[in-house]
Each structure stands twice: as structure tokens, then as C-alpha cells.
Amino acid sequence: MDENKEFTEEQFYAMIESTGADADDFDTAIKDMYGVLYSPDGKKLIRFTDPNVTDYMVQPGTEIICAEAFIVFDDNMENCNRVERITIPPSVRLIGGSAFSGCKCLKYINLPPDLELLGWGAFRACYNVEIDTQDPDLVCKDKMLIDRKDKMLRAYFGTDSVLTVPDEIEIIDDYVFFNCKFLTEVTLPENVRVVGNHAFSLCDHLVNIHLGNSLKYLGNNSFELCSKLESIVIPDTVTVIGAEAFSNCDALKDITWSKNLEFISCNAFYSCNSLVSVTLPPTVKEIGDEAFHGSWHLSEVVLPQSLEYLGAKAFGFCSQLSHVVLPESLDECGGGIFSGCVSTLNVESRSPRFMVENNMLIDYATYTLVSHWGISNQWIIVPDDILHIAPYACSQLINATMLQLPSGLSSIAEYAFADCDMITKVEIPPLVTALPEGVFANCYQLQTVVFKGIVASIDERAFDNCPNIKRIVVPFGCVDAVRQLLVEDLRDKVEAE
């Protein structure tokens, strides 16, 4: 890669975007003698089409090889491309993400000397390829493609079960070990600062990962679906855990937390079903949306005194959760924090802003119902002084048959009552003039909706998957106006009060 060129972030993402192929590209494409699709000017290789071609030379003058260009899907959505040798001309500057992903027969490819972009996961699941880089900064060593200028591991082509990454590496690029079925144990050197997005996703035989003590960032989805990973030691240098970093790690049960951790991003530990106890370090300030959602066996959570923000559905469907103390520092909560949790969950609040009443968390600074839990409850009775209902606040109350809203309620947020399967009737108070997306989605038994006031807007997905609605009752004179707001299937259900 050209060491004299430096790109701004905007330029970098513009290059990535230029490697994409849209419908217009395919519609106007021309074919070479092998049926490979190119742009009319020949500068863009759009798609390789014949899985039986084994030796292919990219046309001279080509500048861009598009993302996923050499993926030829079979009926199982696997790459069935049998290409063994690809020769790339010096004119190519950009290679898109996953360009050669899953080319399991690929044995040789060259990378041109003036390459400016090698997209993420370009050689994912290419296990036996030899790469002629033609670039002094890119070297192949032990089935690894290493960018010496940026001290980055760009790709891995091996089938080892136990792997030690070289000491010179400081960055593990995105998708490097994605879906490496052979790996059981990986040791990263002390110099590694970044583990990129999806770096180890779907390594479903990975049991042990040793992270270096210089690590600062665990990328989004970095260990997603590593179903056999049982423990992780997060170095004290890490301050941020990326979104979905350990989501669906079913065997994960032992976490040693960074002593300097500040942010746990959304879905970071989503559906980690072996987690039983979590004690977060005192430095954590934010826990993102659905961070521990669906971790069914999580029974004990100790939140730090530094916590300022707790995201929507952060502990949703943690059905074994028994006791949580919200710290005094807590200043903001997303909706439905404990949606789908059982009635026996005991929540204490030491925050002056939030109070707990009858399995409800209420923000009395804004008179907002934040979360209502207890899947065995048959009644949803919202207190009379509540003015607003937060997103997802009453979602997943799957056994509730009756809903009672206060007359002074002025707003209901998106998905507030989603998945309340058994509710049969809803009366919308007169001050509520808008129903947002998914507010009653998946309320399968809902039959009657009564509007007590004039409604100004109804999102087309407000009543998604509510197949049993028979009556929508509105104030006299509003029938035609409400019909215009509803999707076609519900318009003939509207009648005057």
C-alpha cells in the first residue's frame, strides 16, 4: 500500500462505499469472455459469475474489485466458487470487503503495489491461499497477512487449532478470524491495542482467548457467537466494550472485568445464558440497551455507584434475576429495563429520581413509567399521576389480560405494550394524540381499541401482528379522519362511539 498517501476518515469511508455494487451497476454491466461482470468503462469488476472457472486474470485497467465480487452462492448460501488462481493487474487500487471470502479452493493471488484499500474480511475462510503482495509493507507469514506499516493483522488463512499472534501486531483488523472453525485457543501479544469488529465472530470452537495488557478496545461483535468460550479476562486498559461483543456466547460464565471499564455498549452480553453473577467495577458509567438481555440464568447483578445511564431492556428477560439495587448516581434510564422479568424480582432504587412501586420503575422527574415487570401479572394498572410511558416500558407482560391507563396520560412511546399477548381491550386516554411504531405490536388477542380523544397520527406499524382486532371506536365525527391514519386492513373496523 502506498505509504505516502494518508486518507481522512471521510475519504476512507468514501473508498469503501465506492466498492459497493447496486442494481444500476448490475443492469448496465458488460461481460467478459468468462461471463464476469464489469462496469461499461471496464474500471470496476462487479461480480464473478461462473463457479467452474479455476484460473482468472482480472482485465487490465480495472481499478476497483467490488465487495463480495468473487462470491458465487449455492443453494445453501455458501460460496461455491472453485477459482484456484487470480491475477490482479497493477491498475487495481481498491478491493472491497469480503471480495474473496469463502473461496476455499483459492491457492494463489497477487496484490498490486499501489493498492489503497483492502476491504474487511477480503480473504475470510480462504484457508490455503498463497499471497504475492508486491508491496514491501504487506507480508505473508505463517498463514497471516501482516501490514507492517500499520502493525496490523489483515487476514488469517490457516487451520491451526492453537495460535499465537506475532509480537509485532498492534491491531487485529475487522473479520480476521471470522468463522474460523478450527481455532480453540488464541494468544494475542502484549502490544495489541485493538480487536476489530467481528474479529472472532462465529469461532464456535474457541475455548480460550488471551488478550494482551495493552488492549484498549474490544470491537463490535468481536466475539459474537463464540459458543464454547467459557471465560474472559478483560485487561485493565480496556475502557469500552463494543456492541454485541460477547452476544450469544452461551458458555460464557466467568468474566474478569477491567478495573477501568467505563462503557458497556448495547447487546454486549446479549443472551449469555451461562452467566449467573455479574459484579461490575466501580468505574462503569453507562450500560447500553439490551446489554444483558436474555441472559436467562443471571440471578445476581451488582451495579456500580458510578453508574449514570442504564439502557433500554438492559436486563430484559433475565428470568432468574432476583435483586437489583439502582445506585444514587443513576440519572437516566431507557425503557423496559426489566421487561420480561418475573414478579419476584426485587428492585431497590437509591436514586432520588427513580422510585419503585408495585413492580414498576417510575421517573418522578418527568412522571414517566420506565419499566413494568412481572410476567405473571394479570392487570396492568398505570398510576394516576403518570404522564408518559417510555419505550418498551410494559412490553413482554405476556399474561396480562387487562390494561388501565390514567386519564391524564399524554404520551405513549414506541413498543410500550409490545408482546402483551393476552390483552383484549385498550382505551386510549383523550390527551394521547399519537400512537408510534409498534406500540401494541404482537398483541395477538387485542380485539377492541377505544380512542377517548382526537388522534392526530397512527404509525403504520402501531398494531403490527394484531390479527384479532374487531372494533376501533373513535369520537363521533372522527371516523373518516381515523380511517385515513390506519393501514388498509383496519379501516373497516372503525366506528363512532
Q: How far is the first Cα of the chain from the last one, in angstroms, to the nearest whole number?
A: 72
Q: Residue type at 273?
A: N
Answer yes or no: are the C-beta atoms of 370 and 362 closer than 8 Å.
yes
What's 33's domain CATH number? 3.80.10
d(CA 215, CA 209): 13
Is 144 among the domain residues? no
Answer yes or no: are the C-beta atoms of 218 and 197 closer than 8 Å.
no
Closest CA to 249 of 287, 221, 217, 278: 221
d(CA 419, CA 415): 9
Total structural domains in the chain?
1
**Residue 341: C-alpha distances to residues 120, 150, 277, 480 (Å):** 39, 47, 16, 41
Helix (H, G, I), strand (E, B) or coil at 73: strand
Checking phi first, is residue 10 left (phi over 0); if not, alpha (psi -120 to 50) or beta?
alpha
Q: Which residues pair with 474 in a beta bridge?
A: 496
Find the radius of gyration of the CA atoms of the chain: 27
Cβ atoms within 10 Å of 305's Cβ, excluding its own: 12
Cell of 56: 482468472
Is 56 among the domain residues? yes
Answer yes or no: are the C-beta atoms of 181 and 205 closer than 8 Å.
yes
d(CA 223, CA 252): 11
Burial classification of residue 68, based on how many CB atoms lie within 10 Å of its CB (0-12 exposed, 13-18 middle, 19 or more buried): buried
List, in order, residues 6 or more apart from 426 with CB less than 8 Å away. 403, 405, 417, 440, 446, 448, 449, 450
d(CA 227, CA 162): 17
- pLDDT value at residue 4: 44
What is 348-387 written as a DSSP string? EE--SSEEEETTEEEETTTTEEEEE--TT-SEEE--TT--
d(CA 159, CA 5): 34
- pLDDT value at residue 387: 98
- In the block, cell 417510555 appears at 390
Is 2 among the domain residues? yes
Is 123 among the domain residues? yes
Is 32 among the domain residues? yes
Is 228 among the domain residues? no
Answer yes or no: are the C-beta atoms of 132 and 111 closer than 8 Å.
yes
Closest CA to 242 of 256, 227, 224, 255: 224
What pTM was computed for the model? 0.89
Could you state, in chain order, the average pLDDT of each consecutive group of 10 residues for the chain (497 residues)?
Answer: 62 90 95 96 96 95 96 82 95 94 92 90 87 87 91 92 96 92 95 95 96 94 97 96 97 97 98 96 98 96 96 95 96 96 93 95 97 86 96 93 96 97 95 97 97 95 96 94 94 92
**Residue 92: C-alpha distances to residues 95, 153, 234 (Å):** 8, 22, 40
Burial of 98-126, coded b for 16+ CB within 10 Å and e otherwise, reads bbbbbbebbeebbbbeebbbbbbbbbbbb
Domain of 63 in residue numbering reads as 1-135
- pLDDT value at residue 5: 58
- pLDDT value at residue 9: 77
Helix (H, G, I), strand (E, B) or coil at 18: helix
Cβ atoms within 10 Å of 18's Cβ, excluding its own: 16
Answer yes or no: are the C-beta atoms of 403 and 377 closer than 8 Å.
no
d(CA 97, CA 76): 21
d(CA 17, CA 454): 46
d(CA 456, CA 473): 15
Q: What is the dihedral of CA 220, 223, 227, 230, to 10 degrees?
A: -120
Cell of 430: 383523550
Answer yes or no: are the C-beta atoms of 268 and 243 closer than 8 Å.
yes
Is 386 among the domain residues? no
Burial of 217-248, coded b for 16+ CB within 10 Å and e otherwise, reads bbbbbbbbbbeebeebebbbbbebbbbbbbbb
**Residue 363: C-alpha distances to residues 327, 385, 427 (Å):** 14, 11, 23
Is 307 among the domain residues? no
d(CA 171, CA 390): 40
